[in-house]
């Protein structure tokens, strides 16, 4: 029976639309960091929304579960199949057309398989900015960005992917197509259905296209690397920065001394921009599309105020594009540098912006108490309250022994996050990796509401089963 369905699916998508040789399908089965190695009977690569719809309808009729997949760059295993081999992988990569761009309307409509960097480039060619920007942008696909509500380095100014989304086209779990490709800024005609699918990681339907917001292209950028007296100063400096720049901040990134040192030690070209060492730094960037604004003067004004107020003790403004790149190389080199320092236990957490300093102090003390010598490298999108709290092993310790304590340290750190009303997944999503853990941190009523929404839209549970909503969440609905 399943064989027959697979044959029909192959006919629908044609010879270029499917893969089943082990060597061809393996890249679709493996999670990018090697966390999971799943199994699929068939990788389907439809070329159009209609093909997606037909494939989903056939799978729904036969009860075959579907795992939608974009660029397979996700960090929580949301896009890979499980090990039982029944999941069909539906990869969107062939749906890579830009359907339209309308610079006067500040919108672009793209299919799910378009690479993020291509959207940025095409927007720029039309004197527009598509602001979503993140490490994987050269290979991740916008459908995946939408499904995980991706964050990245410009959220502070432009919001997450959710805020960049005006409309969606979605294939529903029964194979029908919902065309919600609106280009409106305002539309209060009932429930805002697109919000259901953004960030749902393919568990409620398959996003096949989206209409996205564009912005005026920045004309000038100014970047500073500053030293703070201590982490307590972070939130005051952030508030000053928002006011002084008229909310034209595009980045406010935290960098700890240990991160700078790891970057300098292991990554070519990284240098300390300041003459003396300090414990805590921030990378601050301001940009404007206005030819009339002077972002350099604005940033100088901010630093003068901050020195006066004692929220900054040292700092320098990039005098050239090369110097700006050098500042950002520290930010990127910090991630790279950690790899050479042994095992690293990672966290992608968010707390209220005002609680960043408290989180850093409490979490650092707690993990150090549990394991003296552990080296927290806490960095990231501090202006969003989003800290990548990565724990490098003690120097000289055994890597595997350290990594075996991953869950133990997750528990410590996520417990502190929960106490501060924070989030255990700020921008990476839940996928399979945090699906069970989420049941400990989310209130039962919230898990139940999620299950109700899932049940309402995908009653057969064929869309990406085992991701986001844990089976246990459906218990509350039994017997209804």
302-321: contacts with a second copy (CB under 8 A): 302
Nearer to a second copy, 54 or 425 (CB): 425
Q: Is 65 left (phi over 0), alpha (psi -120 to 50) or beta?
A: beta
- Told to check if 107 binds a second copy by CB under 8 A, we report yes
Nearer to a second copy, 44 or 417 (CB): 417
- Told to check if 246 binds a second copy by CB under 8 A, we report yes
| Contact range with a second copy by CB under 8 A, out of 20-28, 90-98, 252-260, 381-389 | 381-389
Among 87, 298, 311, 390, interactor with a second copy by CB under 8 A: 298
Q: Where are the beta strands (DSSP E) in 274-393?
A: 280-288, 314-317, 344-345, 348-350, 375-379, 386-392
Any idea which residue has 């070209």 for tokens? 269
CB 221: neighbour CB atoms within 10 A?
A: 17
What mask of x and - would describe binding to a second copy in positions 199 to 218, judged by CB under 8 A? Answer: xx--------------xxx-
User: Within 34-150, where are the H helices?
Assistant: 49-62, 116-125, 142-147
Structure tokens belonging to residue 5: 């369905």
DSSP string covering 444-465: HHHHHHHHHHHHHH-TT--BST
Distance CA 37, CA 327 (A): 37
Compute the CA torsion angle 50, 56, 57, 62 (nearest 10 deg): 150
- Told to check if 176 binds a second copy by CB under 8 A, we report yes
- Told to check if 478 binds a second copy by CB under 8 A, we report no
Distance CA 259, CA 392 (A): 10
User: Within 339-458, where are the H helices?
Assistant: 356-370, 399-403, 406-419, 435-441, 444-457
- Told to check if 198 binds a second copy by CB under 8 A, we report yes
- Told to check if 160 binds a second copy by CB under 8 A, we report yes
Compute the CA torsion angle 115, 203, 451, 54 (nearest 10 deg): 140
11-70: contacts with a second copy (CB under 8 A): none
How many of the chain's residues bind a second copy (CB under 8 A)? 100
Nearest one of 55, 44, 41, 45 to 84, comparing CA atoms: 41
Nearer to a second copy, 98 or 397 (CB): 98
- Told to check if 292 binds a second copy by CB under 8 A, we report yes
Q: In the bound complex, what is the minimum distance in angstroms from residue 243's beta carbon to a second copy? A: 4
Nearer to a second copy, 395 or 445 (CB): 445
| Contact range with a second copy by CB under 8 A, out of 44-52, 157-165, 361-369, 394-402 | 157-165
- Told to check if 229 binds a second copy by CB under 8 A, we report no
Q: In the bound complex, what is the minimum distance in angstroms from residue 190's beta carbon to a second copy? A: 5
Nearer to a second copy, 6 or 237 (CB): 237
Nearer to a second copy, 206 or 270 (CB): 206
Nearer to a second copy, 259 or 385 (CB): 385
| Contact range with a second copy by CB under 8 A, out of 20-28, 63-71, 110-118, 283-291 | 283-291
280 forms bridges with which residues in the sheet?
228, 256
């Amino acid at each position: 029976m399943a064989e027959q369905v697979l044959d029909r699916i192959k006919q629908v998508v044609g010879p270029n639309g499917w893969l089943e040789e082990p060597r061809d399908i393996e890249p679709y089965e493996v999670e990018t960091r090697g966390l999971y190695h799943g199994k699929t009977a068939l990788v389907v690569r439809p070329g159009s929304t209609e093909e997606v719809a037909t494939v989903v309808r056939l799978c729904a009729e036969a009860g075959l579960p579907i795992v939608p997949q974009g660029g397979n760059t996700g960090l929580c295993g949301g896009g890979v199949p499980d090990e039982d081999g029944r999941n069909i992988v539906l990869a969107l990569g062939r749906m890579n057309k830009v359907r339209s761009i309308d610079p006067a309307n500040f919108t672009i409509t793209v299919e799910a398989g378009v690479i993020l960097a291509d959207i940025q480039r095409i927007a720029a060619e039309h004197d527009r900015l598509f602001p979503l920007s993140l490490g994987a942008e050269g290979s991740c696909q916008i459908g995946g960005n939408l499904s995980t509500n991706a964050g990245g380095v410009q959220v502070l100014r432009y919001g997450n992917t959710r805020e960049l989304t005006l409309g969606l086209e979605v294939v529903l779990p029964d194979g029908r197509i919902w065309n919600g490709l609106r280009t409106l800024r305002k539309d209060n005609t009932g429930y805002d259905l697109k919000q259901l699918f953004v960030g749902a990681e393919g568990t409620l339907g398959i996003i096949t296209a989206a209409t996205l917001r564009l912005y005026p292209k920045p004309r000038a950028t100014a970047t500073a690397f500053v030293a703070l007296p201590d982490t307590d100063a972070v939130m005051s400096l952030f508030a000053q920065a928002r006011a002084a720049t008229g909310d034209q901040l595009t980045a406010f990134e935290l960098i700890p001394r240990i991160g700078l040192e790891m970057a300098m030690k292991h990554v070519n070209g990284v240098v300390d921009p300041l003459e003396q060492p300090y414990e805590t730094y921030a990378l601050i960037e301001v940009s404007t599309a206005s030819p009339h604004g002077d972002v350099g003067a604005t940033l100088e004004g901010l630093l003068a105020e901050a020195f006066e107020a004692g929220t900054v003790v040292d700092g320098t403004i990039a005098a050239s594009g090369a110097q700006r790149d050098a500042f950002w190389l520290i930010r990127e080199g910090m991630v790279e540098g950690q790899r050479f320092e042994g095992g690293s236990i990672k966290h992608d957490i968010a707390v209220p912006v005002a609680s960043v300093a408290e989180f850093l102090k409490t979490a650092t003390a707690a993990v150090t108490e549990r394991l003296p010598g552990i080296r927290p490298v806490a960095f990231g999108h501090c202006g969003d309250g989003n800290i990548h709290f990565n724990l490098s092993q003690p120097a000289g310790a055994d890597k595997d022994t350290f990594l075996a304590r991953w869950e133990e340290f997750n528990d410590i750190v996520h417990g502190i996050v929960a106490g501060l009303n924070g989030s255990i997944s700020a921008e990476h999503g839940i996928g399979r990796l945090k699906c069970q853990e989420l049941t400990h941190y989310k209130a039962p009523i919230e898990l139940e509401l999620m299950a109700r929404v899932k049940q309402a839209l995908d009653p057969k549970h064929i869309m990406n089963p085992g991701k986001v909503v844990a089976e246990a969440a459906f218990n509350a609905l039994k017997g209804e």
